[in-house]
Amino acid sequence: MAATTHTVTNQVPPLVGHDVFATDRVLSEAVERHVEPGVLPVALEELGELGRSAGSAQAQEWGVQANAHPPVLLTHDRYGHRVDEVEFHPAWHRLLGHAVSAGLTDAWGRPAGHVRRAAGFLVWTQAEAGHGCPLSMTHAAVPALRTDPALAAEWEPLLTSHTYVEGLRDPREKAGVLFGMGMTEKQGGSDVRSNTTRAEPLSGEGAYLLTGHKWFCSAPMSDGFLVLAQAPGGLSCFLVPRVLPDGTRNVFLIQRLKDKLGNRSNASAEVEFDGTWARLVGEEGRGVRTIIEMVAATRLDCVVGSAGLMRQAVAQAVHHSAYRDAFGGPLIDKPLMRNVLADLALESEAATVLAMRLAAAYDADTEAERAFLRLALPVAKFWVTKRCTAVVGEALECLGGNGYVEESGMPRLLREAPLNSIWEGSGNVQALDVLRVLQREPRALDAFLREVGKARGADHRLDAAIKGLLTELADLDGVEGRARRLVERFALVLQGALLVRWAPPEVADAFCAARLGGDGGAVFGTLPHSLDLASVVARARPSGA
């Protein structure tokens, strides 16, 4: 009689072959809400194509390969000449090429460009998150370069191109380029005004030679970088090309690649400048003001990317629970598991709705929306990126021991989750930025309150939370010590207001009860049992689950 000890039962099929965009009801509704009717059919078609690619077995395999074979630093060639190159697995280039061709570096000139790009970024980051770094910086370099019309005219068409060209060469010979960034140094971290890299002007207008180092240089194989250095007139912003106008390599010494917790498919480096040629961007002494628009755009991508990681984690947890049987039936039907899944789905939906609202504000580009972004963006960056790690960790636990195994993909999500809360300013930096806005830009608070005020009167718990926030804002003595508490309240009130306006009643009700009304615990799965949790979970369920 044949042995049957290795018969496999009760294992969950992989979540593969589905449209990541179309099966995300929250995201597709946001796109329909924020994209004007004349552009919507084109947006839905391009996002559907990207969503099907992101959910394909091929893209998922690319993600696995890009992380299993991390980048390798090549400092010298076989003859001892410095080359300072980073070698990536072919899967990395396929992921990056697909993303560029889908317009994930192009938002600034297209109708509803920021909403379309943010939705695409949220979708595609679910296939593999690490290559989002060069995509984000390339996209975000545009507003900084626009401070110099000549530089913008030269570089913007290449930055927004839908063509990915691998390798370093004269940018004039390429159909598209990527950009990176170098701000922080060994002694300063977020305190960039203490940077010591020097910039010495050359006789040619706008040209300088840089000497110094960068402790974190993102995407070191990019075609160009925006960096900060001390010029005679103070801290200034510079464009450092990898290949000079005469076709020779610029001095760009990659000393080592960072060995990171996650984000392992992507290269982050320490670099040295030693007579490195650069062009001034903006005015001398106004480097922070020049580069801040790039920072703001990448902060939005931190929010969007975290929302993407949350969505993928929750989709995997719901999918697993739908197929896994335990104690007499599917896990998804068990009241306690349903509570956990619903709680995770609330967090994911709130993050997505907020991220897409911020992208829509970029598209509107009015004075009121810019004021709203000035406060809402650091609030969202603080809160959503921090909630990401908690969501992914709990979603992993929904898979039990299977979730702790690399083949599930959940460990990679968990390693990636903390990155966005650190990148472009950690939590304290965001909280202090919020305080700075409150003290210096009263129009930003007015715009924020107008936004949440649109939902006033629809839910008594939201109304009470808004009142509590105003009470706290009335007394700002010693506010720095309680800045995180204040920013958390800003975030929850804003998310609650958006969900009350746009989410189904069962979602808004559950969020307001647990996040604003105090009827929820400190861990996921503590929602009031009287809520319609089954509908919340069903809304989060991906196709095929």
- On whether both 266 and 310 belong to a single domain, the answer is no
Residue-wise pLDDT for 103-155, tens only, equals: 999 999 899 999 999 999 999 999 999 999 999 999 999 999 999 999 999 99
Indicate whether 12 belongs to any domain. no
* pTM for this prediction: 0.97
For 297, the domain range is: 289-540
Indicate whether 4 belongs to any domain. no
- On whether both 51 and 177 belong to a single domain, the answer is yes
Q: What is the mean pLDDT of the chain?
A: 96
Report the pLDDT value the prediction gives residue 200, as an integer from 0 to 100. Answer: 97
Three-state SS at 170: coil
Q: Looking at this protein, which amino acid is placed at residue 537?
A: V
Indicate whether 146 belongs to any domain. yes
Indicate whether 545 belongs to any domain. no
The whole-number average pLDDT for the span 292-312 is: 96
- On whether both 368 and 383 belong to a single domain, the answer is yes
- On whether both 270 and 297 belong to a single domain, the answer is no
CATH value at residue 198: 2.40.110.20
Three-state SS at 148: coil
Indicate whether 268 belongs to any domain. yes
Report the pLDDT value the prediction gives residue 5, as an integer from 0 to 100. Answer: 80
pLDDT higher than 80, residue 1: no
The whole-number average pLDDT for the span 481-489 is: 97
- On whether both 159 and 298 belong to a single domain, the answer is no
Longest Cα–Cα distance of the chain, Å, equals 89
Report the pLDDT value the prediction gives residue 2, as an integer from 0 to 100. Answer: 59
CATH value at residue 480: 1.20.140.10
The whole-number average pLDDT for the span 211-231 is: 96
Report the pLDDT value the prediction gives residue 307, as an integer from 0 to 100. Answer: 98
Residues shown for the chain: 545
- Alpha-carbon torsion, ordered 294, 297, 302, 306, to 10 deg: -160
Report the pLDDT value the prediction gives residue 204, as an integer from 0 to 100. Answer: 72
Report the pLDDT value the prediction gives residue 272, as an integer from 0 to 100. Answer: 98
Indicate whether 9 belongs to any domain. no
pLDDT higher than 50, residue 545: no
- Per 3-state DSSP, what percentage of the chain is helix, strand, and coil (rounded to 5)? 55, 15, 30
Which residues neighbour 522 within 8 Å (Cβ) at sequence distance 6 or greater? none
Indicate whether 1 belongs to any domain. no
Q: Show which of 247, 269, 285 is a domain's final residue.
A: 285
- On whether both 354 and 224 belong to a single domain, the answer is no
- Closest by Cα among 245, 515, 198 to 354: 515
Give the DSSP letter of residue 426. Answer: -
The whole-number average pLDDT for the span 97-101 is: 98
Q: Show which of 267, 285, 303 is a domain's final residue.
A: 285
Report the pLDDT value the prediction gives residue 527, as an integer from 0 to 100. Answer: 97
Q: How far apart are CA 268 and CA 112, in angstroms?
A: 31
Residue-wise pLDDT for 445-461, tens only, equals: 999 999 999 999 999 99
Residue-wise pLDDT for 397-456, tens only, equals: 999 999 999 999 999 999 999 999 999 899 999 999 999 999 999 999 999 999 999 999
- On whether both 491 and 361 belong to a single domain, the answer is yes
Q: Show which of 285, 301, 332 is a domain's final residue.
A: 285
- On whether both 406 and 513 belong to a single domain, the answer is yes
Q: How far apart are CA 106 and CA 113, in angstroms?
A: 7
Indicate whether 353 belongs to any domain. yes
- On whether both 131 and 240 belong to a single domain, the answer is yes
The whole-number average pLDDT for the span 267-289 is: 96
Residue-wise pLDDT for 317-344, tens only, equals: 999 999 999 999 999 999 999 999 999 9
- On whether both 318 and 257 belong to a single domain, the answer is no
- On whether both 256 and 298 belong to a single domain, the answer is no
- On whether both 153 and 255 belong to a single domain, the answer is yes
Neighbours of 91 (CB within 10 A): 22
pLDDT higher than 60, residue 304: yes
Report the pLDDT value the prediction gives residue 109, as an integer from 0 to 100. Answer: 87
The three state secondary structure string of 340-408 is: HHHHHHHHHHHHHHHHHHHHHHHHHCCHHHHHHHHHHHHHHHHHHHHHHHHHHHHHHHHCHHHHHCHHH
Tally of domains within the chain: 2
Confidence of residue 192 (pLDDT cuts 50, 70, 90): confident
